[in-house]
Amino acid sequence: MGETNSKGKKEGKKGEKHSKKVSKAHKEGKEKLRHDPNDDIAKYYEVTDKVLGLGNFSQVKMGIDKESGEQVAIKIVDKSSVKHKPEMLTNEVDILLQVDHPNIIKLLDLFNCDKYLYLVMELVTGGELFDRIVEREQYSERDAKEVMKQLFSSIDYIHSKGIVHRDLKPENLLLEDDDNDTKIKMTDFGLSKIYSQEFMMSTACGTPGYVAPEILNCGGYDPAVDMWSAGVIMYILLCGYPPFYSENDAQLFESILEANYHFHSPYWDDVSTEAKDLIKKLLVVDPKDRLTAKQALEAAWFKTNTENSSNPLPKDMKDKLVRHNTERKDKSRTNITAKPAKK
């Protein structure tokens, strides 16, 4: 399903104008790369056998800059595996070329070869955010606040650049290194989209549990979908379990469509009122009433130091997060295809 404007018409002259802006940004982004994209990667980097991650169409390996000795992450995309969906590849490249933010993974180089596309990115070694939380002996609301401030800042940045992520979830929040427990990096722009205000997105995509209601409704949607996902992440950070959960996708989607979630006792008893208020303004069914990232950064939660904000969250919270962490890793990324249950 393609993208349409607010009247349902396919993209026309305004869309072409937007595409030209994207092309200009793409050209400017290429000028920031270290080397010529048409050159041979082997001249500049050693691609080791160490696999850092696997995707549906790619794998990420450890690389070494031959001149400086710097360790990097190299995403290797088999071009034949995406030949029927070339936009997936071009979208991610276009976006990575445009972004430059301290909380977003940075593209250092790219090499466009016959069979493979190599994306050379900064190496982050701290692992997934949620993994670190369950490893720590203490985790507080203040820590959650620090993480969310960075997440909202990065969302505000990409939205200002005309980019919507569309797949924000714990797997896509990595820690910079082993020495910092809260410095995050947003990653994986494979489902992201460069959008125009004149045209609503309509492709059903995302991850069950984090997807916004308007996507499930199969209508047009806009960048507000990222703020819904951020609300889900914030909820989990503060209690250890997701606001929407069911083994049955149809039932899960029904609860999302109705924003049917609760702040259960005793798990939420010690969480501040300001934190709950912010979540309530993010997990809103109507995207027009949902806070933007810029508005979220101005929330009272970030300006208020409650007495217990530095106290460790209950052990039960960590136990629940361990279970949630294990369950979500057992499930691979899934495009939204199931229909909500009928009432």
Catalytic residues: 167
Buried b (16+ CB within 10 A) or exposed e, 171-185: bbbbbbeeeebbbbb
The span from the CA of 132 to the CA of 127, in Å, is 7
Give yes or no for a contact between 73 and 119, defined as CB atoms under 8 angstroms apart: no
Q: Check: CB of residue 61 under 8 Å from CB of residue 133.
A: no
67: tokens are: 């001149």
Beta bridge partners of 104: 186
Both tokens assigned to 266: 């005793």
3-class SS of residue 195: coil
Q: Is the dihedral of CA 329, 84, 63, 150 positive or negative?
A: negative
In the block, residue with structure tokens 């990667």 = 41
Structure tokens at 88: 């997936």
Closest Cα to residue 109, out of 88, 126, 123? 123
User: The dihedral of CA 329, 332, 337, 338: what is its sign?
Assistant: negative
CB atoms within 10 A of CB 229: 24
Q: Are 242 and 235 in contact (CB under 8 A)?
A: yes
Backbone angles phi, psi at 91, to 5 degrees: -60, -50
